[in-house]
């Protein structure tokens, strides 16, 4: 699975305005609704919030990977938000988050969900990728960075 196959310019927001994780979740889910990737905004948001209650998805090094599964989701959906000022997220390292990869998946089909999370983890191991994405000035630039690494 390639992350680039799930993303397009309408699903990448550079310069996200959110100041905390609840705001960034709402902004990212709105991207998915506008793109026609999800239909039920509230159920999608509740799936993300329910997962976040179990443990923070702020994994450290300025990155968060909120994810959830929901019956209303018809196929795997993802979005990327890049913050220039940092988001208060309650990350494991207590530092602000600058890159947020949001993933929503079908409730009864865990395979693609796990594959997508694995691909995000793999990409984040690439030296310098985090910084290059954080410095992207536009959605197309962020997509080009991901495409080049995949």
pLDDT at position 16 is 95
Q: Tens of pLDDT along 77-114?
A: 999 999 999 999 999 999 999 999 999 999 988 889 89
What integer pLDDT is reported at residue 38 of this predicted model?
94
Q: What is the pLDDT of residue 145?
A: 97
Q: Are 123 and 129 in contact (CB under 8 A)?
A: yes
Residue 109: predicted pLDDT = 84
Residues labelled as active-site residues: 67
Helices (H) and strands (E) in the chain, counts: 5, 6
Q: What is the average pLDDT score of the chain?
A: 95
Largest CA distance in the chain: 37
pLDDT digits (tens, 9 = 90+) for 129-148: 999 999 999 999 999 999 99
Q: Which of 144, 149, 40, 32 is nearest to 81 (CA)?
A: 32
The CATH number of the structural domain formed by 3-149 is: 3.40.930.10
- Going from N- to C-terminal start, the domains of the chain cover 3-149
Question: pLDDT exceeding 90 applies to what percent of the chain?
Answer: 93
How many CB atoms sit inside 10 A of residue 123's CB?
A: 19
Token pair, residue 122, equals: 């793999």
Q: pTM for this one?
A: 0.96
The per-residue pLDDT for 94 is: 96
Residue 83: the pLDDT is 97
Under the banding of pLDDT at 50, 70 and 90, the label for residue 59 is very high
CA 50 to chain centre: 16
Q: What are 109-128's pLDDT values in tens digits?
A: 888 989 999 999 999 999 99
CA dist., res. 35 & res. 103, Å (int): 14
Q: Which long-range contacts (CB under 8 A, 24 or more apart) does 27-34 make?
A: 27/81, 28/66, 28/79, 28/81, 28/100, 28/102, 29/79, 29/102, 31/79, 32/77, 32/79, 32/102, 32/104, 34/10
């Amino acid at each position: 699975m390639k992350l680039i196959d799930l993303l397009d310019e309408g699903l990448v927001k550079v310069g996200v305005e959110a100041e905390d994780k609840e705001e960034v979740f709402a902004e990212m889910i709105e991207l998915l609704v506008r793109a026609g990737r999800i239909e039920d905004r509230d159920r999608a948001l509740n799936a993300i919030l329910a997962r976040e209650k179990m443990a923070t998805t702020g994994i450290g090094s300025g990155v968060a990977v909120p994810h959830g599964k929901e019956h209303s989701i018809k196929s795997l959906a993802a979005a990327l938000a890049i913050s220039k000022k940092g988001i208060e997220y309650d990350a494991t390292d207590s530092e602000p988050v600058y890159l947020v990869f949001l993933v929503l998946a079908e409730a009864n089909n865990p395979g693609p969900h796990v594959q997508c999370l694995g691909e995000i983890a793999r990409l984040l191991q690439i030296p310098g990728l985090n910084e290059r994405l954080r410095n992207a000035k536009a959605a197309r630039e962020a997509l080009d960075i991901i495409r080049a690494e995949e």
